Structure 1
């Protein structure tokens, strides 16, 4: 700790001395000087200014004293970014995007090592919030919907607790859509590609009438599976079909008043990434058999191979001191080991698309009450519903036993509705800039889940049948064969919950959990910046007071009515202090202290709705933003120290019970066998340190080179698993590489096809070192390297003044294959230690091998676009 304190002081002191040593006179009249210089530079082919709204006002990115990365609409087009999942390649090194589990229907989004593990529930949040036009999205479900007409995506790095509130301790991802212009304009794009992909979008701006401007957007995106499912009628994996529309209106009834209204609706059908077996028995344990060599009877007990005829059992739990060695279950003959990417699964399992529906209405009012003061109101109603059908594991994530059920089909049905209201007063007077605001947010979320085993082996593991994903005593045999499709529900049944939970009267599913949660958030915030005239200094102080209240009920566990409830409430104040210095019109330095927090909640996978408290972050950041060579080169640097307290970590226990007893006394196969029970606790403190650099160079007119780098160091605590007890386990931060980098080349060459036409070339490369993908496993993923490219013949003028653009694009151009999610949980037994450090027992349940998810393969296509 003494070394850490000295490092903090030296870091902050060094920045302050650098700022004070610069010549204040050079910074006088910096706003006007910088604007004029920038405009002159752009006329001479220099880098253009980038406008952001990270401080609730429009500011120049280079003069905004926080670390921000911006993806413009052109950047998104060049990288063929259709949804946020496409940013998983590492386009912004500090931003990490991955699937939750293997599911595209819910994304994991992190910044600067603040990455959630499992926030895919009714009463849990992430540490990075996603915003659309200033409106926070309350749930991660639905985040992978098709992007509409996006003007830019701002990635705000570090805690944003003052201006953006809770759940922004790592930062915020803010998407800004294009507003109606009131001038007739339109654009239509259509394209096709490999894996049966096709896309189309249309954008129409209508002329203003009676001071009202209208804009309409429509989007369609489709891709066939990249991994095929042998089961007839099933969809396959890594499939999506997205469609949606948005209508926006801008009304300017009087001078100074702007009223923006919008409504959007999107439907995203998708299947998860495929989980495949990449090795078998990597620890070289003895391979057992399910046939008793003494009796020849096939049973449920594993036995060691024997040459003497005397059976030696290797049970599910090996006590300390027992002579029975660890053994691994035999692998079914139909299940292959695939260390490289699979394109067709070995075993067909039912896999239908998950369906995410997002919708929302936003009212954004702005009124300039005086030349320097604007009042704003942002009102929004939003909702998301998800019907999740995830059978990504198949037989690869469960061990083989004769006649056993396998292939866990994870079903989840979530519905969430939210309302938010924000008021802002933004203005300037004399040497002061200010932002004042008040905010209210409320949401209601419900979810229920089932985890049936969809397939059944024959006695030899050489064939299988497909069963209905229900647990119902009236269904005793296979519903359909492996080649004749799949019946998702029995024709008729009566769930035992019907008498007390009418919601499930007509459901044949064995409900593993059902929960509902409410959330209410109130806050008041403000920022005040003082800029003494003639000094180039800017002093900013801000703060946000938050009252956060959440409660909920877990009312069904394992198909039985329960009454587990939780409630938590906190009052919190998050401050922010920032000192910025304009050394010259093109060189800006800052030092910042800020805090943020992630709300507490409850884990509905715990079977008791165990509650946990909020976690919080203190951040110390210094940075520099510099333009060189008459705005032909731009270098932005940031270094930060973040200390996170009461870190929320998840602990697992795999459920190995073979059967469960229903409330009516019937014993049935346990539908959660092979699943996990999960508890969340505030496990301790985490340290995160990092450096970020962004360089953009425009050496000649038409050529732009850019590069970004992020170094992230973290140290997580050790903690005792609250489910199993024993010795502390080392914890890991997921999806946070130590080194990440990206680079791009953009070249525009005028052509003589028509006035204004050009040939545009884009190539980007993205790298990330290996990283952890599970909080409790020391196993790392592969390092990643992805190259994307696009070539376009752009803005070809037609006789009717329309402009046509023809393009070819490719994602993962080199078809690089890497594992982005990997688990060894099925490769080794779980060792349970007592408090004294002694080994108590070894649970293993069969053991199979590592399973993994690979990145998407190379995709490519052609597009045509017309502007009119």
Structure 2
């Protein structure tokens, strides 16, 4: 049984006070934000580090409450602040579909990193590992899901921000969360205010800023699979106009699939560490400067890639040894286990594997100056670095190379990536005559990145397939190995990009018809990107590929875009708000370093048409939000993959094209939350997403008929729900809190070019807590028990049919083995203790 002790009841990283309750699925936008019965008196005000807000509270500021003309009372649902429009607004009066995951919701679900949102608890938001690796996360919203954006010259389709600073790479997104106040998931194109690479939406992480008062929140816990965690958040008080704050986090879990090879790491292991420091300088009520710096180190291993079946298409099976008849496949060696129904607790074959090491660090300086009561000038400067040293031996004998007597196998996927970025943004946010709200800004972004990858084999079969040996780490794979100085580099690429933008957005409320609000906005962006594939198969790459004197493969791409936005909002009553919105966005083009030709592809462009309603009913005890949208995307970036043998080893090759025609994405989202009694709260949500990509030509099969194309990791139907119950107790003015949520996700594709689907899933999470027990003046303790995947549900979240199909170029079936895939994480549980003072 997992037992976790933690101190710091309000610490929002991964393991804090929660409750145990039940329902049938996750949590909706307002449901996540309003995670549990809370009276206005118990709502804690905490300063936010988000540049888009003035130094204020997590609850709505007094000015915002006056603008809304309403304030919640006991028994009503609380107002939720968001900063999606670069200013502090009420969620219910903001004409954007937004899910808000606050610190209480993070605690209730034991969310330690963005990877934990892969259970689908935010409908419309998709989080998955790239391949099986925890080193890079694929994040999508509303069917905009870039599968392989973890290369230096490729981009995400959903922007991820921390305190207003854009994170340019998928790598490093699994780092430990550091004192998060809330996560805002903005759905639909955000190209006007947030810029390029937000065609699906944006994930904005907002952390807590110094309060200026001494305070401590700390936590510690232990659990099954050898897990333990600790978090500490210390407000050091103030010295004159300066306030200081330090945050630390440690999250550890042993492997959930064991590696039989002595001394080697198993699978789904992680050890995350993070440290953050903040200084706030506020010499007057009109000027604030926030300086922050953070460092993170994430050691992890991939999920185990199991062989789910053998030869599912029924080709003739030849002998294990000797000549293989034409049109037949090799059988599986006798020591290889095929398991497609349950995750392996111990792998059948032990392999060499060490932990990948992801390092993130950076800093930000945010200046806010209230020049006038209705005008604030802001400057947001950010610098970040990411490095990923990837070690992925997730498949062993469950993926090619196939068995041959005395042949090599156990492909060790190695990669080293470094990225650095610098960004500068200036904003002017203000209001004129209580009728005109405006945001104007200038933005500059610069990035450099490079990656080198190798795939040596790490083991050798005996002559009969009944045993194997680990080869020499420096020369055992045809003269090469996995030690850094001994690698044969499959590919090495570098990319540089610059982006400049100017934007503005104005909202007008007519004085004679103040129930209407008209918003117009636009952003002009100029992107300049270059890249080189300087190594391919351990030699300088050449384009054309077969000309030894040809130049190094490279590309240069300049893109200019104007992204407009128009919104009409109508306050039908104090509690009913309607809107219609037209929004646009785009994702930059680039080149695939997995392609032997490094062919470049162009950008994607999306137009979105959305209508929505945000309502509060029954004296603000029920909140019901609805949105329906149509998106039309041109230039859809589609990946086609195959396995190419370069004579010594198998290489994953990916060619990216822009699909012809228009991709259609239509959807409906419903979010509901009800305060049934002062102690009981129910929430539910539903998301329907329809996608259709026009058929495209497979670049690996020139001249072949067009083939169907799919959008990966986008379930047609998602249903979530939660129950939260709070019961005051007579012990030291404490509370007994229960939370239970469930999350259903329909099966999805993993790849754009394959109709093969993953499994559907239903994940239940729960927590029970004895919370806020007073143990002294101003001191509170919280004791809790939690569980993720409470029912220990098992499903394949990533299924790869590549190795069960004939070679797409030659048609040969000699390389067929079977589908392999990755199962979700098993049930985890624990106990925690937290202290706040």
TM-score normalised by the chain length of structure 2: 0.89
Shift of the alpha carbon at 1:471? 5.1
Q: 1:344 aligns with which of 338, 343, 346?
A: 346
Distance, in Å, in 1 between the alignment partners of 2:600 and 2:772 is 57
Distance, in Å, in 1 between the alignment partners of 2:569 and 2:475 is 63
Matching of residue 720 in structure 1 with residue 722 in structure 2: no
Report the equivalent of 1:564: 553
Moved more, 100-109 or 603-612: 603-612
* 1:434-488 C-alpha deviation (Å, 9 max, x unpaired): 0000000000001101011111100000000112455579959xxxxxxxxxx95
Alignment of 1:224-235 (within 5 A): 224-235=254-265
* 1:259-318 C-alpha deviation (Å, 9 max, x unpaired): 001000000000001110111122222210154xxxxxx4xx41xxxxxxxxxx21xxxx
Report SS of the residue matched to 2:665: strand
Regions of 4+ moved over 4 Å: 30-36, 469-476
Report the equivalent of 1:542: 521
Q: 1:779 aligns with which of 750, 756, 760?
A: 756
Report the equivalent of 2:404: 401
Shift of the alpha carbon at 1:403? 1.1
Report the equivalent of 2:575: 586
Report the equivalent of 2:635: 646
Contact 2:723 2:739 in 1 (8 A): yes
Rg: which structure is higher? 1
Contact 1:259 1:363 in 2 (8 A): yes
How many residue pairs get aligned? The number is: 759
Report SS of the residue matched to 2:350: coil
Shift of the alpha carbon at 1:552? 1.2
Alignment of 1:384-463 (within 5 A): 384-398=386-400, 399-430=402-433, 431-463=435-467
Matching of residue 215 in structure 1 with residue 245 in structure 2: yes
* 1:717-742 C-alpha deviation (Å, 9 max, x unpaired): 21112232122121110000000011
Report the equivalent of 1:751: 729
Report the equivalent of 1:553: 532
* 1:569-612 C-alpha deviation (Å, 9 max, x unpaired): 01110000000000111100000001100001111111222111
Report the equivalent of 2:32: none
Report SS of the residue matched to 1:681: strand
Contact 2:489 2:538 in 1 (8 A): yes
| Residue 328 to residue 177, structure 1, CA distance change in 2 (3 Å) | same
Report the equivalent of 2:155: 125
Alignment of 1:624-703 (within 5 A): 624-657=613-646, 659=647, 670-671=648-649, 673=650, 675-684=651-660, 685-703=662-680
Contact 1:470 1:510 in 2 (8 A): no
| Residue 289 to residue 423, structure 1, CA distance change in 2 (3 Å) | same
Contact 1:452 1:469 in 2 (8 A): no
Distance, in Å, in 1 between the alignment partners of 2:583 and 2:672 is 25
Matching of residue 510 in structure 1 with residue 454 in structure 2: no
Contact 2:642 2:808 in 1 (8 A): no
| Residue 327 to residue 860, structure 1, CA distance change in 2 (3 Å) | same
Report the equivalent of 1:829: 806
Contact 1:327 1:846 in 2 (8 A): no
* 1:517-553 C-alpha deviation (Å, 9 max, x unpaired): 1000000000011001242000000000000000011
Matching of residue 706 in structure 1 with residue 710 in structure 2: no
Distance, in Å, in 2 between the alignment partners of 1:801 and 1:589 is 43
Matching of residue 327 in structure 1 with residue 304 in structure 2: no
Q: 2:305 aligns with which of 252, 256, 275?
A: 275
| Residue 384 to residue 33, structure 1, CA distance change in 2 (3 Å) | closer
| Residue 465 to residue 365, structure 1, CA distance change in 2 (3 Å) | same
Moved more, 799-808 or 730-739: 799-808
Shift of the alpha carbon at 1:338? 0.7
Matching of residue 525 in structure 1 with residue 526 in structure 2: no
Report SS of the residue matched to 1:173: strand
* 1:213-254 C-alpha deviation (Å, 9 max, x unpaired): 101000000000000011111100000000010000111012
Report SS of the residue matched to 2:486: coil
Distance, in Å, in 1 between the alignment partners of 2:813 and 2:374 is 68
Distance, in Å, in 2 between the alignment partners of 1:862 and 1:246 is 25
Matching of residue 846 in structure 1 with residue 815 in structure 2: yes
Q: 2:566 aligns with which of 530, 554, 577?
A: 577
Q: 2:377 aligns with which of 369, 375, 378?
A: 375
Shift of the alpha carbon at 1:360? 0.6
* 1:504-524 C-alpha deviation (Å, 9 max, x unpaired): xx7210011111110000000
Report the equivalent of 1:111: 141
Distance, in Å, in 2 between the alignment partners of 1:473 and 1:141 is 28
TM-score normalised by the chain length of structure 1: 0.86
Moved more, 793-802 or 229-238: 793-802
- Root mean square deviation of aligned Cα: 1.5
Distance, in Å, in 1 between the alignment partners of 2:494 and 2:206 is 31
Alignment of 1:227-376 (within 5 A): 227-291=257-321, 298=322, 301-302=323-324, 313-314=325-326, 326-339=327-340, 340-376=342-378
Contact 1:452 1:470 in 2 (8 A): no
Distance, in Å, in 2 between the alignment partners of 1:534 and 1:796 is 52
Q: 1:738 aligns with which of 700, 716, 726?
A: 716
* 1:810-867 C-alpha deviation (Å, 9 max, x unpaired): 00000000111112222232455xxxxxxxx522233111111101000000000011
Contact 2:457 2:477 in 1 (8 A): no
Distance, in Å, in 1 between the alignment partners of 2:100 and 2:132 is 28
| Residue 414 to residue 719, structure 1, CA distance change in 2 (3 Å) | same
Report the equivalent of 2:28: none
Report SS of the residue matched to 2:177: coil
| Residue 360 to residue 819, structure 1, CA distance change in 2 (3 Å) | same
Report SS of the residue matched to 1:572: strand
Distance, in Å, in 1 between the alignment partners of 2:352 and 2:488 is 17
Contact 1:452 1:471 in 2 (8 A): no
Contact 1:227 1:236 in 2 (8 A): yes
Q: 1:160 aligns with which of 190, 197, 200?
A: 190
Distance, in Å, in 2 between the alignment partners of 1:200 and 1:142 is 20
Report SS of the residue matched to 1:655: strand
Contact 1:128 1:167 in 2 (8 A): yes
Distance, in Å, in 2 between the alignment partners of 1:117 and 1:475 is 33
Q: 2:199 aligns with which of 153, 157, 169?
A: 169
Distance, in Å, in 2 between the alignment partners of 1:242 and 1:607 is 35
| Residue 408 to residue 31, structure 1, CA distance change in 2 (3 Å) | closer
Contact 2:749 2:758 in 1 (8 A): yes
* Greater length-normalized contact order (CA 8 Å, ≥ 6 residues apart): 2
Report the equivalent of 1:598: 587
Report the equivalent of 2:20: none
Distance, in Å, in 1 between the alignment partners of 2:736 and 2:67 is 32
Distance, in Å, in 2 between the alignment partners of 1:843 and 1:468 is 32
Distance, in Å, in 1 between the alignment partners of 2:669 and 2:464 is 56
